Amino acid sequence: MKRRFGFGTLQSRIYTIFTLMIFSSIFIMQLVSFRFTINAARNSIIENNRVLLGQLVTQIDSYIGNMEKLADAVIEDNEIQFFLENPEAAGINTLTSIESRLAAYIFARGDLAGILIAGTDGTLLKGEPDTEVNPWSVIADQPWYKEAVDAEGRTAVSTSYVQNVLKGKYSWVVSLSRSIFSAEDGRLLGVLLIDLKFNRINELCRSLVVGRRSYDFILDKDGNYVFHPMQQLVYSEIRSEPVGEILKMLEENDRETYFDGEHYFTAAASALTGWHIVNVTYRGDITTNWQWVQLSYAAIGLVLFIVVGLFTNKLASGITKPVRKLQEIMKSVESGEFHLVGKIEGTDEIRELAREYDIMVTRIRELMQENIMEQELKRKSDLKALQAQINPHFLYNTLDSIIWMGEMKQHREVVQMTSALSKLFRISISKGRELITITEEISHVQSYLTIQEMRYKDKFRYLLDIDPDIHDLIILKITLQPLVENAIYHGIKEVDHQGFIRITGRREGDDIIFEVSDNGKGMNQQQLVELIEGVTAADEKRSRLSRQGLGVRNVHERIRIYFGEGYGLSFASEEGKGTVITVRLPAKTQETIQ
């Protein structure tokens, strides 16, 4: 069976609609879950960084907190107080003792770059002996000194910078500085400076990050950089951070993350230092290796799609297969066959449809059978009608003749004609049989000829020449009489001389041939053609039916109805010489007919 995959078929429609629906639902599902996965991954990385940021803040704060404790210890040191109150009175021994104590602090803690106490009178207590003060740096102008004085006893935390207070020593530090007040009168004695190695904070910042390119940077409370891993790039404006946005975010405290399109900025504030610690995570780092996720998503989509596609295909054909089978069976109607569907696999609807169809076909078959029978009946009744047509003319003419002969007291002739008429009708009726023996038919035509001969005295003579071998074969009754009638009325009656009618009958192979010939008027070529057309043409084409032809045609049609197309009448005629009508019938006996 050849079927194209056109979009008109039910199967392809079901398949297409399902495919589109499944495609869009898989697609939407994947989109959503992909977004979800990405967001989840991103959130977890950002959350990780936030946790790390929290740890960083805690560590920095605890670190600074420790340093403050150290500052407390130094400031509450009575000896230092005493020395700063009156350096001359304290003497060089006190200075040495204090400096060695400060040196011990530095030594004990590896993360201190230096401790310095600067008195308001210019005295300096250094934690690192054997170092000279940088003659070019003015202590009172240093930011840490000024800030400590401004802070009035609270600890000032500097940003990161290069400490240049000692000669030849330039170290990166974050400074804690605090004013020292006199315990007696509360006047400012000096400023304590504790320098933390910046490296420590640097290490913390660099170690507590996740992600290939992630990094942390620190802003002080004014938005200046305390630490940035690429500080030089920042200062030469090769790189910039959205400091304004980050400060705004921290100030408004409404968002946790700022996203500039490429980087996620997460910030946390350190309470002790006032610093803002910012984590930067690259979007690209979060989505590294996403092509594999993508690929697997696509692969899952593909597999799902194929599986569901095949399933849909199966489903669609499950629905349409019975429909198509039904359709094929129904198609047989086109060729005139009415097949029943019978049992069919399919849904209730399909089975119901098949059942209804079967009922319909069965009904159609019955109707057709009825139709055929009706046709048959009609044909037979037609036949009877045709036979009946013969009777009335002839009957009243003959009866007239009998009356007339009776009046003339020609009793013998009356008896002769009446008996002939009686014989004629007996054979005509012949108990309703259509087929009679040729003997009976001859007897019938002879009766007719007897009557006519009496009516038309000396008008014609006749000869019956029937081969005795065919006497027992059968013939459709009233076959010859109309032909003889025709010969009398249309042939002999029209001429002045005495007519002659010859009737022959013989066997010719499987057929019987009768010939009814007369020497009457005959027909010219045109009349003959008209007659033949009138007799042989089908009913609807027969426009002008000559009265002459009616009886002859009845014979012709009846023969054909009973015996088939190959039998019937044929004509030959010549004007002024006469007409020959030939009858062809199958040679059959009463037995072979049954």
Amino acid letter, residue 501 = I
Please say which residue, 306 or 395, places its beta carbon nearer to another protein.
306
CB 265, CB 258: distance < 8 Å: yes
Please say which residue, 160 or 446, places its beta carbon nearer to another protein.
160
Question: 29 to 48, contacts with another protein by CB under 8 A?
Answer: 30-31, 34, 38
By CB under 8 A, residue 202 contacts another protein? yes
CB 361, CB 340: distance < 8 Å: yes
Please say which residue, 228 or 444, places its beta carbon nearer to another protein.
228
Residue 37, token pair as written in the block: 């996965």
Sign of the Cα pseudo-torsion (303, 305, 307, 310, in order): negative
CA end-to-end span of the chain, whole Å? 47
Please say which residue, 107 or 396, places its beta carbon nearer to another protein.
107
By CB under 8 A, residue 6 contacts another protein? no
Which of 528, 503, 527, 523 lies closest to 583 in space, CA to CA? Answer: 503
Give the Cα-Cα-Cα angle 318, 320, 322 (nearest 5 degrees): 80
Please say which residue, 38 or 45, places its beta carbon nearer to another protein.
38
CB 192, CB 180: distance < 8 Å: yes
Please identify which residue in 283, 433, 507, 577 interacts with another protein, judged by CB under 8 A: 283
Please identify which residue in 105, 181, 259, 290 interacts with another protein, judged by CB under 8 A: 290
Q: How near is the Cβ of 219 to another protein at its closest, in Å?
A: 13
CB 87, CB 123: distance < 8 Å: yes
Q: How near is the Cβ of 136 to another protein at its closest, in Å?
A: 5
Q: At what angle do helices 87-108 and 78-85 cross, to 10 degrees?
A: 140
By CB under 8 A, residue 258 contacts another protein? no
Q: How near is the Cβ of 161 to another protein at its closest, in Å?
A: 6
How many positions of this chain bind another protein (CB under 8 A)? Answer: 55
By CB under 8 A, residue 105 contacts another protein? no
By CB under 8 A, residue 302 contacts another protein? yes
By CB under 8 A, residue 311 contacts another protein? no
Please identify which residue in 233, 360, 367, 399 interacts with another protein, judged by CB under 8 A: 233
Residue 152, token pair as written in the block: 């009035």
By CB under 8 A, residue 203 contacts another protein? yes
Binding mask 140-169 for another protein (x = CB under 8 A): -------------------x-xx-x---x-
Please identify which residue in 48, 81, 94, 171 interacts with another protein, judged by CB under 8 A: 171
Range 26-33 contact pairs with CB under 8 angstroms and sequence separation of 24 or more? 26/301, 26/304, 26/305, 26/308, 27/301, 30/297, 30/300, 30/301, 33/297
Cα 577 versus chain centre, distance:
85
Please identify which residue in 130, 251, 254, 262 interacts with another protein, judged by CB under 8 A: 262
| Helical ranges in 210-347 per DSSP H | 231-235, 243-252, 283-286, 290-331
Sequence-distant (≥ 6) Cβ neighbours of residue 346 within 8 angstroms: 321, 322, 323, 354
Other C-beta atoms closer than 10 Å to the C-beta of 557 total 18
By CB under 8 A, residue 27 contacts another protein? yes
What is the C-alpha to C-alpha distance for residues 84 and 70, in angstroms, rounded to an integer? Answer: 18
Q: At what angle do helices 348-407 and 438-455 cross, to 10 degrees?
A: 40
Other C-beta atoms closer than 10 Å to the C-beta of 404 total 13
By CB under 8 A, residue 26 contacts another protein? yes
Please say which residue, 110 or 468, places its beta carbon nearer to another protein.
110
Question: 238 to 257, contacts with another protein by CB under 8 A?
Answer: 238
By CB under 8 A, residue 222 contacts another protein? no
Q: How near is the Cβ of 114 to another protein at its closest, in Å?
A: 13
Please identify which residue in 8, 86, 93, 136 interacts with another protein, judged by CB under 8 A: 136
By CB under 8 A, residue 21 contacts another protein? no
Please identify which residue in 105, 297, 563, 571 interacts with another protein, judged by CB under 8 A: 297
Please identify which residue in 3, 69, 541, 547 interacts with another protein, judged by CB under 8 A: 3
Please say which residue, 298 or 529, places its beta carbon nearer to another protein.
298
What is the C-alpha to C-alpha distance for residues 32 and 283, in angstroms, rounded to an integer? Answer: 19
Q: How near is the Cβ of 311 to another protein at its closest, in Å?
A: 11
DSSP string, 139-205: GGGSHHHHHHHHHTTSPEEEEEEEE-SBTT--EEEEEEEEEEE-TTT--EEEEEEEEEEHHHHHHHH
Q: How near is the Cβ of 336 to another protein at its closest, in Å?
A: 31
Please say which residue, 23 or 259, places its beta carbon nearer to another protein.
23
What is the C-alpha to C-alpha distance for residues 209 and 46, in angstroms, rounded to an integer? Answer: 10
Give residues in contact with another protein (CB under 8 A).
Answer: 3, 5, 15, 19, 23, 26-27, 30-31, 34, 38, 134, 136, 159, 161-162, 164, 168, 170-172, 197-199, 202-203, 206, 212-213, 224, 229-233, 235-236, 238, 262, 283-284, 287-288, 290-291, 294, 297-298, 301-302, 305-306, 309-310, 313
